[in-house]
Amino acid sequence: MSIAPAIDQDKVTQSFLAEGSGWSVSDVICRCGPEDKPYEEQHGPAVIAAVLSGNFVYRSDRGSTLMAAGSLMLGNEGACYSCGHEHGAGDRCLAFHFAPEFMAEVAGALPDVKHIDFPQHRLPPVTALSPLFAAAEAALSEQDALALEELALRMAGAALRLSRYHFLRRFSTVLGVTPYQYLLNRRLRAAARALREDRMSVLDAALSAGFGDLSEFTRRFRRTFGQTPASWRRGKMV
């Protein structure tokens, strides 16, 4: 499917609602439908959009996902994306935009959250998001600037916390291991190939696979392959 160079401004209205230090929020109504080509744009600041009604397909270099009512769309700062309405006409979102320093401040107050980028583009409709959507609809109806400011903080915190939790849970369900375990196994397999096929030294293989500690590399290699890197390199079975 071809991508239109820009959104049809006649079919999208964006009404500014409120702003504060490092954040702003707008009411975005889109009237595009299946007859309209997906439009391509680029995020400025990071965006968290609560999908209040309708649905659309969000595409980026990480793949595509269906955004439906009750879900949160998560867009990283500067990311290119496109939106299409193959499955229905129109949607309405309450879109929050956040400066990096705002997100960093929120992330700093959350345990185990060390990054402000989103590992995925969608949080599905889940029970944990229901209070946020109720507050979003109330704030939109009442045009309450103070409520929107509080909601901005809650949205940022929920997106940073839940996006990682949901990503880890889905990753582990599909692959049976955590992302860390998956990457560790890939690094060890790369080192094993370098040792056996390229005849690389144990030290060089460890460094090329991202291990800075030779003893740590040897310990993990032996746990995975049942022998030391040196024995593996010589082609000996133990």
The string of DSSP letters for the chain reads ---BSS--GGGEEEEEEEEETTEEEEEEEE---TTSPPEEEE-SSEEEEEEEEEEEEEEETTEEEEEETT-EEEE-TT-EEEEE-TTSS-EEEEEEEE-HHHHHHHHHTSTT----S-SSSEE---GGGHHHHHHHHHHHHHT-HHHHHHHHHHHHHHHHHHHHHHHHHHHHHHHSS-HHHHHHHHHHHHHHHHHHTS---HHHHHHHTT---HHHHHHHHHHHHSS-HHHHHHT---
CATH topology of domain 179-234: Arc Repressor Mutant, subunit A (1.10.10)
- Contact status, residue 233 vs residue 222, Cβ threshold 8 Å: no
The rounded distance, in Å, linking the Cα atoms of 152 and 47 is: 11
Q: Please name the residues in contact with 10: beta carbons below 8 A apart, sequence gap of 6 or more.
A: none
- Contact status, residue 128 vs residue 158, Cβ threshold 8 Å: yes
Give pTM, 2 decimals: 0.67
Which of 68, 16, 6 minimizes the C-alpha distance to 41? 6
For residue 196, CA distances in Å to 99, 138, 184, 220 come to: 48, 63, 18, 17
Handedness of CA 135, 50, 157, 143 (dihedral sign): negative
Give how far the C-alpha of residue 223 lies from the chain's centroid of Cα atoms, to the nearest Å.
Answer: 32
CA contacts within 13 A on the Cβ side of 201: 4
Length, in residues, of the chain: 238
Q: What are phi and psi of 29, to 5 degrees?
A: -115, 125
Give the residue extent of every domain in the chain: 9-175, 179-234
Q: Does domain 9-175 have CATH number 3.40.50.2300?
A: no
Q: Quick one: tokens of 57?
A: 């397909």
Relative to beta strand 46-60, strand 63-68 is antiparallel
How does pLDDT run along the chain (238 residues), one tens digit per residue? Answer: 333 444 556 788 999 999 999 999 999 999 999 988 887 889 999 999 999 999 999 988 878 888 999 999 999 999 999 898 888 889 999 999 999 999 998 888 877 777 888 888 888 888 888 988 999 999 888 888 888 999 999 889 888 888 665 445 555 665 676 666 777 888 898 899 999 888 889 999 988 888 878 888 998 899 889 999 999 988 854 4
pLDDT of residue 169: 58
pLDDT of residue 171: 53
The rounded distance, in Å, linking the Cα atoms of 140 and 163 is: 24
